[in-house]
């Protein structure tokens, strides 16, 4: 037997065997419970990175474990293949986005396969496959028919150089992230999906997602942003431009008595009407618009206002008059585009009031009281709110929170306003002026307007003969592709040239995996069988958009007859990042980990450049990135240590939801363990066969206890703890082997080693298969059932109980596990150390917690 484990040979061998035996291909099986494990599918950037390795190591562990536990496991893989990088590559390298994408996919597939994942590769697809986006077009048409998709004008960030719409995240300091051009606000007609119709359901259903991280549920809840408030008309003292009243939206009507002004948006219809006749107002509104709404601008922009001269009455008493201002901080998109300002209880309103000399009235003063407001606005506090509500609404008691609800009731009862629920969530704009995406299957006809393409005419294929020599959307300037006929009247018409946001592609791929060959988007029976995904694993960066869009899609697909589940992802796990130390040379240049060596002793850690031994400064630990040169290439790791080592390292030490620090020392440690398991297994296999049947010993008991713990920890996704348990068992097995070599009984070594190997199998599948063979295991471990815990081996005869005096540990006592309380107390008090520590003091009380602890109180 070879002393060193040859991972190269073994990993290739078992990957071949798994593939040849189709070990991971599945179909629906009514006899076994299903389990759907899914890792967020990768974007085909060209090479896998360590984040992928971690993601798939986690998912594969679960998939293999569930498979061994008797589940029919669906574990597919695909590619999120549309998007801008392919077009950028096309512009820079004169390569077609399609060729670039499929080449990348081929390269990454090859890399992934070296990881030895239990993927059903027969289901693989890319979202840029025409078969996939054809079905997405089918879904779009159904959504259109159901009123879920619609078109409207909307303000967008327009990059005049790249000639495209930019997402808010792509606008940096008011400039396009690629072109650096000043971004303009344009009104364009865009396609939207009506996600806002589902706001309440998307919010309420978060409650049931008990296998999602609390953090993600909170983030989604905040994003949906439900608020309870009231619409309040403020009547003008004299109507202007046909407007009798300005309607404000407020979530704090309990502060209404402190209102001292009203502010409307520059885009409010009344502001526009006033601007038409007053050039000063027109100029002011223009300035407001110019400042824009980018985050940067918002941060710096001063609160600006313009007094319109109009006056309104406070509805609370119909007497107090308030001036109407135009404010640059009032958003037309939210609420009604008009607010009442209550400077005493809102910092922004206070700043505004101070700047323009508007009165500040403490809304919570009782009649006759004149408590002033200090430099900072009063926090809408609990106590003051109660007093105020008592005063104006005559409500006997109210908690702070009730104050809002009760003031709404009070105002509604007097017909002064109407309670409302509003959401922050806006409809999802899916139009992109890009080539490399799913074409939106509609046609613009001069006489019929916007006409959906007929389903039998799908797919609307992306033309391949396009040029990327200029910015903008090549579909717009394609000579023939746009020209078509109207499906309704047959006249010449033009195709829509916008493509869909790539988030659409990723909003239903998990459903398509259940039947990827189908000529409809899904088969309701099949998708109903597999969905929801039982465990979804991916990065926290998708906590909001991707996961929310997918939840919306699940609802929309059910509504349009495409089946599925209420919620697409039953369990969600958000893994941490892979991070690495950074290194910088004498001139501050980033240095890659491959170019240095580390020395470590009592004096500390130092890094030296391999090329000339000059010292390198060790910087912070940061997310692996090309710019900081702190990446480690999975290919290099797999070829030097093997996939199992990389997987084991990823699973050890760090809890999977936290960042894992990639270190050379850590990888070597993981690899040492691989070699150690191999040596140990070889040693056990070459022992002479023991005769007869073995009585259970401590080692066997430990193995079963470990098995029970490992199962619990895997099901709780605490893989690092499972790994620690396996280490403990391995230490004991090694000790057993050493003892056996010097003559002790080896009777339980083989069965215990087999248990250990089976526990290792989901984490290091290749090594496990090889060891399994060595131990005479039958067949392929990938197809073997998970071992059963023998409950009779979990019980212990004796217990080690700590003994405390007044909560401080003073001794330990070994005692029969079935000893009664009186016996334990007697035995404890008889201990020399305890007698000595008590020093003649009489115990007042002895607390015995069964199987846990004894505490003597004096």
Examine residue 845 and tell whether it contacts RNA (CB under 7 A).
Answer: yes
- The CA-atom distances, in angstroms, between 782 and each of 34, 68, 77, 123 are 17, 7, 19, 19
658 sits near RNA (criterion: CB under 7 A): yes
* 217-236: contacts with RNA (CB under 7 A): 218-219, 222-223, 225, 227, 229
- Looking at the Cβ atoms of 210 and 812, the one nearer to RNA is 812
- Among 676, 787, 829, 831, indicate the residue that binds RNA (CB under 7 A): 676
Residue 375 binds RNA (CB under 7 A): no
Phi (first) and psi of residue 708, to 5 degrees: -60, -45
Contacts of 744 (CB under 8 A, 6+ apart): 736
Give CA–CA dist 52/807, Å, rounded: 48
Nearer to RNA, 17 or 858 (CB): 858
Q: How many CB atoms lie within 10 A of CB 598?
A: 16
Q: Which stretch binds RNA (CB under 7 A): 20-28, 188-196, 411-419, 648-656?
A: 648-656
Determine, following the binding rule CB under 7 A, whether residue 841 of this chain makes contact with RNA.
no
Indicate the residue among 146 and 167 with the shorter CB distance to RNA. 167
Stretch binding RNA (CB under 7 A), from 124-132, 236-244, 247-255, 406-414? 247-255
* Contacts (CB under 7 A) with RNA, residues 586-605: 600-602
Query: Contacts with RNA in 811-830 (CB under 7 A)?
Result: 812
CB-based contact 257:363 (threshold 8 Å):
yes
CB of 337: closest distance to RNA in angstroms?
6
Between CA 7 and CA 800 the distance in angstroms is: 42
Contact track, RNA, 693-722, x by CB under 7 A: -------------------------x-xx-
CA-to-CA distance for 303 and 327, rounded, in angstroms?
7
Q: Is 372 in the site for RNA (CB under 7 A)?
A: no
Q: Which of 2, 372, 375, 379 binds RNA (CB under 7 A)?
A: 379
Q: Alpha-carbon dihedral of residues 139, 204, 415, 381, nearest 10 degrees?
A: -130
Asked if residue 714 lies in contact with residue 62, where contact means CB atoms within 8 angstroms, the answer is yes
661 binds RNA (CB under 7 A): yes
Please select the residue that binds RNA; options are 610, 672, 698, 779, rule is CB under 7 A: 672
Q: How far is the CB of 541 from RNA (least distance, A)?
A: 8
Q: How far is the CB of 308 from RNA (least distance, A)?
A: 17
Task: Out of 430, 723, 740, 770, point to the residue binding RNA (CB under 7 A).
Answer: 723
Q: Based on CB atoms, which residue is closest to RNA, 379 or 695?
A: 379
Does residue 393 touch RNA according to CB under 7 A? no
Q: Give the three-state DSSP class for 234.
A: strand
| C-beta closer to RNA: residue 5 or 18 | 5
Residue 336 host element (H or E)? none
Find the angle CA(542)-CA(96)-CA(511) to the nearest 5 degrees.
35
Q: Are 126 and 119 in contact (CB under 8 A)?
A: no
Among 28, 124, 566, 734, binds RNA (CB under 7 A): 734
Q: Closer to RNA at the Cβ: 518 or 708?
A: 708
Of residues 475-514, which lie at the interface with RNA (CB under 7 A)?
Answer: none
Shortest CB 604 distance to RNA, Å: 9
Determine which residue in the list 727, 774, 787, 838 makes contact with RNA, applying CB under 7 A: 727
Decide: 164 and 186 in contact? Cβ < 8 Å. Answer: no
How would you classify the pairing of strands 615-623 and 604-609?
antiparallel
The span of 41-49, 103-111, 186-194, 650-658 binding RNA (CB under 7 A) equals 650-658
| Selected binder of RNA within 45, 179, 420, 728 (CB under 7 A) | 728
Query: Across-strand partners of 495?
Result: 443
User: Does residue number 215 form part of the binding site for RNA (CB under 7 A)?
Assistant: yes
Q: Which is nearer to RNA, 22 or 215 (CB)?
A: 215
Q: Which of the ranges 40-48, 50-58, 248-256, 406-414 carries the binding residues for RNA, by CB under 7 A?
A: 248-256
Residue 220 CB, nearest approach to RNA (Å):
9
**Which residue in 163, 179, 293, 745 binds RNA (CB under 7 A)?**
293
Site membership for RNA, residue 252 (CB under 7 A): yes
How large is the C-alpha radius of gyration of the chain?
34
393 is written with which tokens? 């609404």
Taking Cα atoms as reference points, which of 95, 171, 159 lies closest to residue 434? 159
Q: Which stretch binds RNA (CB under 7 A): 111-119, 287-295, 692-700, 776-784?
A: 287-295
Shortest Cβ 821–RNA spacing (Å): 13
b/e per residue, 329-349, with b = 16+ CB within 10 A?
bbebeebbbbbbbbbbbbeeb
Judged by CB under 7 A, the chain residues 309 through 338 that form the site for RNA are 328-337
Quote the DSSP letter at residue 569.
Answer: B
For the bound state, the minimum distance from the C-beta of residue 640 to RNA, rounded and expressed in Å, comes to 13
Task: Work out which of 29, 184, 210, 295 binds RNA, going by CB under 7 A.
Answer: 295
- The continuous run of DSSP H or E covering 731 comes out as helix 719-741
Return d(Cα 177, Cα 155) in angstroms, integer. 19
Q: Which residues pair with 577 in a beta bridge?
A: none
849: contact with RNA by CB under 7 A: yes
Candidate residues 402, 659, 697, 790; the one interacting with RNA per rule CB under 7 A: 659
Using alpha carbons, select from 442, 246, 421 the residue that is nearest to residue 330: 246
Tokens representing residue 96 in the block: 């077609």
Q: Is 807 in the site for RNA (CB under 7 A)?
A: yes
In contact, 373 and 385? CB cutoff 8 Å: no
- 69 is a contact residue toward RNA (CB under 7 A): no
Phi and psi angles of residue 252, each rounded to the nearest 5 degrees, phi first: -130, 60
Partners of 312 in the beta sheet?
Answer: 236, 322
Give the residue carrying structure tokens 């033009």.
494
Pick between residue 181 and residue 853 the one whose CB is nearest to RNA: 853
C-beta closer to RNA: residue 205 or 227: 227
Stretch that binds RNA, among 157-165, 461-469, 626-634, 647-655 (CB under 7 A): 647-655
Residue 256 or 466: which CB sits closer to RNA?
Answer: 256
CB of 601: closest distance to RNA in angstroms?
Answer: 4
Count of chain residues binding RNA (CB under 7 A): 83
Question: Can residue 121 be called a binding residue for RNA (CB under 7 A)?
Answer: no
In the complex with RNA, the residue whose CB is nearer, 545 or 565, is 545
Interacting positions 787-806 with RNA (CB under 7 A): 800, 802, 804, 806
Asked whether 341 and 349 are in contact (CB, 8 A), the reply is yes
Q: How far is the CB of 32 from RNA (least distance, A)?
A: 30
Choice between 274 and 670, CB closer to RNA: 670
Q: Specify the residue, 494 or 853, whose C-beta has the smaller distance to RNA.
A: 853
10 Å CB burial of residue 497 (0-12, 13-18, 19+) is buried
Listed residue (400, 438, 586) closest to 141, CA to CA: 438
418-437: contacts with RNA (CB under 7 A): 424
Separation of alpha carbons 543 and 572, rounded Å = 10
Contact 641, 667 (CB under 8 A): yes
**Which pairing describes strands 227-240 and 171-172: parallel, antiparallel, or unpaired?**
unpaired
As a residue count, the chain comes to 858
Cβ closest to RNA, residue 26 vs residue 206 = 206
Q: Between 163 and 728, whose beta carbon lies closer to RNA?
A: 728
**Could you give the CA distance from residue 86 to residue 822 in angstroms, rounded to a whole number?**
76
Q: Which is nearer to RNA, 239 or 807 (CB)?
A: 807
Q: Alpha helix (H) ranges present in 603-642?
A: 634-641
CB 753 within 8 Å of CB 688: no
């Amino acid at each position: 037997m070879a002393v060193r484990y040859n991972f190269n040979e073994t990993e290739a061998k078992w990957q071949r065997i798994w593939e040849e035996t189709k070990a991971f291909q599945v179909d629906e099986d009514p006899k076994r419970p299903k389990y759907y494990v899914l890792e967020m599918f990768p974007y085909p950037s060209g090479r896998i990175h360590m984040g992928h390795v971690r993601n798939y190591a986690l998912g594969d562990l679960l998939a293999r474990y569930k498979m061994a536990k008797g589940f029919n496991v669906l574990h597919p893989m695909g590619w999120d293949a549309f998007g801008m990088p392919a077009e950028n590559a096309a512009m820079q390298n004169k390569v077609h986005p399609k060729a670039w994408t499929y080449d990348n996919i081929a390269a990454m597939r090859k890399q992934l396969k070296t990881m030895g994942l239990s993927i059903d590769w027969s289901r693989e697809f890319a979202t840029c496959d025409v078969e996939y986006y054809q079905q997405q077009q089918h879904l779009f048409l159904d959504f259109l028919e159901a009123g879920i998709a619609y078109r409207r004008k909307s303000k967008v960030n327009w990059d005049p150089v790249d000639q495209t719409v930019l997402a808010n995240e792509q606008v940096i300091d008011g400039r396009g992230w690629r072109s650096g051009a000043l971004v303009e606000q344009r009104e364009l007609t865009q396609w939207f999906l009506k996600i806002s119709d589902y706001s309440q359901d998307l919010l309420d259903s978060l409650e049931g997602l008990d296998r999602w991280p609390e953090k993600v549920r909170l983030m989604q809840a905040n994003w949906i942003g439900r608020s309870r408030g009231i619409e309040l008309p403020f009547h003008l003292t004299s109507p202007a431009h046909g407007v009798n009243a300005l309607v404000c939206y407020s979530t704090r009507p309990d502060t209404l008595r402190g209102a001292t002004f009203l502010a409307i948006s520059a885009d409010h219809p009344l502001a526009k009407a006033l601007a038409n006749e007053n050039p000063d107002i027109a100029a002011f509104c223009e300035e407001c618009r110019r400042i824009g709404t980018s985050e940067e601008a918002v941060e710096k922009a001063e609160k600006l206002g313009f007094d319109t001269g109009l006056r309104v009455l406070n509805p609370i008493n119909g007497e107090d008059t308030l001036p109407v201002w135009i404010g640059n901080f009032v958003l037309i998109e939210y609420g009604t585009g008009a607010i009442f300002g209550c400077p005493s209880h809102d910092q922004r309103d206070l700043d505004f009031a101070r700047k323009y000399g508007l009165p500040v009235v403490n809304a919570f003063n009782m009649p006759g009281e004149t408590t002033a407001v200090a430099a900072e606005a009063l926090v809408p506090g609990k106590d003051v709110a109660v007093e105020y509500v008592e005063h104006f609404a005559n409500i006997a008691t109210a908690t702070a929170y009730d104050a809002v609800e009760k003031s709404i009731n009070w105002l509604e009862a007097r017909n002064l306003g109407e309670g409302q629920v509003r959401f922050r969530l806006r409809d999802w704009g899916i139009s992109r002026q890009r080539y490399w995406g799913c074409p939106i299957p509609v046609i613009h006809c001069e006489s019929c307007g916007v006409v959906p393409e007929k389903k039998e005419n799908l797919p609307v294929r992306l033309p391949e003969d396009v040029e990327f020599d200029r910015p903008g959307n090549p579909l717009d300037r394609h000579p023939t592709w746009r020209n078509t006929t109207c499906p309704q009247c047959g006249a010449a018409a033009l195709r829509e040239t916008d493509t869909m946001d790539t988030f659409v592609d990723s909003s239903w791929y998990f459903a398509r995996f259940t039947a990827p060959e189908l000529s409809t988007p899904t088969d309701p029976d099949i998708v109903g069988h597999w969905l929801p995904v039982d465990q979804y694993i991916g990065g926290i960066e998708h906590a909001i958009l991707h996961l929310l869009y997918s939840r919306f899609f699940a609802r929309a697909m059910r509504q349009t007859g495409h089946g599925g589940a209420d919620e697409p992802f039953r369990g969600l796990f958000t893994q941490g990042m892979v991070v690495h130390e950074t290194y910088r040379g004498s001139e501050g240049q980033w240095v890659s980990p491959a170019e240095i060596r580390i020395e470590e002793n009592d004096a500390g850690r130092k890094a030296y450049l391999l090329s000339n031994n000059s010292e390198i400064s060790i910087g912070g630990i940061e997310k692996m990135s090309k710019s900081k040169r702190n990446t480690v290439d999975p290919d290099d790791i797999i070829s030097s240590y093997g996939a199992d080592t990389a997987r084991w390292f990823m699973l050890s030490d760090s809890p999977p939801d936290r960042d894992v620090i990639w270190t050379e020392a850590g990888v070597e440690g993981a690899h040492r363990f691989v070699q150690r398991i191999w040596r140990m297994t070889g040693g056990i296999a070459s022992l002479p066969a023991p005769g007869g049947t073995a009585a259970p010993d401590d080692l066997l008991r430990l193995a079963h206890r470990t098995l029970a713990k490992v199962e619990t920890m895997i099901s709780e996704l605490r893989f690092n703890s499972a790994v620690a348990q396996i280490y403990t068992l391995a230490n004991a097995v090694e000790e057993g082997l050493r003892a056996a070599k010097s003559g002790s009984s080896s009777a339980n070594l083989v069965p215990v080693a087999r248990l250990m190997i089976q526990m290792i199998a989901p984490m290091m599948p290749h090594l496990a298969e090889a060891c399994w063979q060595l131990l005479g295991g039958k067949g392929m471990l990938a197809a073997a059932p998970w071992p059963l815990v023998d409950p009779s081996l979990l019980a212990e005869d004796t217990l080690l109980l700590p003994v405390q005096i007044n909560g401080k540990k003073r001794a330990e006592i070994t005692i029969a596990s079935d000893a009664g309380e009186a016996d334990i107390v007697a035995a404890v008090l008889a201990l020399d150390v305890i007698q000595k520590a008590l020093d003649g003091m009489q115990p007042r009380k002895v607390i015995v917690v069964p199987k846990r602890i004894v505490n003597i109180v004096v």
